[in-house]
Amino acid sequence: MSKKSGPPPIVFILLFLALLGGGYWWFFMRKPETTVQNSGQSSKNQTGQGYQQVTPVFPAPTSVSPDTSVRIDGSTSMVTINQNLKRGFEKKFQGASVITNAKGSSNGIQALSKGTIDIAAVSRPLTQQEQSQGLVAVPVANDAIAIIVGIDNSFIRGGLTTDQVADIFQGKVNNWSQVGGSNGSIRVINRPAVSGTHQTFKELVLKGNNFGTTLNITTLPRDETTGLIRSLGVNGIGYATFAQVQNQSTARVLPIDSLKPEAANYPYVRQLSYVYKNPPSRPVQDFLGYATSPEGQQAALVGN
């Protein structure tokens, strides 16, 4: 009986080449996977490039340690939210303490990086560099930036367009008559660069362009809405978070493109966030869990 012949040598050669090619792709051509940490830290691929913010989810606490203390500083736009959440958190958890301040988003982030506060309240997105340092943003609320004039301003009675607002704050327009008002000079009241609202306004309203440097533009030394409103007078214009000016008796909010800040398609809307440094402490986790819970969200927006 004749022996069965095995596969021809060419089969083994082709199989060897296929295995060799697959191994080469796996070790040398395959893209490294991106890993994400559960704590919400910005993810980074194995090449060290491309940070991507991962929003963490903290469970709402049912109880906290009676000596829980949380220090918050940052955006002046979040003063009301901070105070509302402070009251709600301290009321719900007896003995807990929340200390709030408002020195501007950038100052808050610096204090957080130094470890002198636990949470930074910010009204602008984190930069890639900030994310790479372990800072993580947790969205808390959306907010409209309102364009305001003094209540006694008689030069402008209607609203403005987005193009007109940009021209005013870049110094291209300096008379109310150029934007549909009566003849009179425009005084622009700008917020300092440490303000998150300043940074967001620059990106959202000026499309990344710089504010003007003309003589009619004044930059406040401190980031405070009360001081800005006082500076408006009869011919000034400025900007602030809508929540802080909607019920003001000394300032008037201008419609933009015929839209009020309450409108769903109002053009100047940004996100307000709390920022922590990884890894978050237990008090930070508890406070953020409360702030992002349905109960905390209601307290943040309407008080408690």
Q: Given its phi and psi angles, is residue 302 left (phi above 0), alpha (psi -120 to 50 degrees) or beta?
A: alpha
What is the chain's pLDDT, residue by residue, as a tens digit (304 residues)?
A: 444 455 565 655 555 555 555 554 444 444 333 223 344 544 443 333 344 556 789 999 999 999 999 999 999 989 999 999 999 999 999 999 999 999 999 999 999 999 999 999 999 999 999 999 999 999 999 999 999 999 999 999 999 999 999 999 999 999 999 999 999 999 999 999 999 999 999 999 999 999 999 999 999 999 999 999 999 999 999 999 998 899 999 999 999 999 999 999 999 999 999 999 999 999 999 999 999 999 999 998 776 4
pLDDT of residue 301: 79
Residues 99 and 127: beta-carbon distance below 8 Å? no
Domains and CATH numbers, the chain: 69-143+271-302 (3.40.190.10), 144-269 (3.40.190.10)
Give the single-character DSSP code of 138.
Answer: E
pLDDT of residue 55: 74
The model's pLDDT over 16-71, given as tens digits with 9 standing for 90+, comes to 555 555 554 444 444 333 223 344 544 443 333 344 556 789 999 999 999 999 99
Residues 78 and 121: beta-carbon distance below 8 Å? yes
**pTM for the model:** 0.71
Q: How far is CA 9 from CA 16, 22, 23, 85, in A?
A: 11, 20, 22, 76
pLDDT of residue 7: 56
Nearest one of 131, 116, 129, 120 to 40, comparing CA atoms: 131
pLDDT of residue 303: 60
CA diameter of the chain? 114
Cβ neighbours of residue 275 under 8 Å, at least 6 residues apart? 74, 108, 109, 112, 119, 120, 121, 122, 126, 135, 136, 137, 138
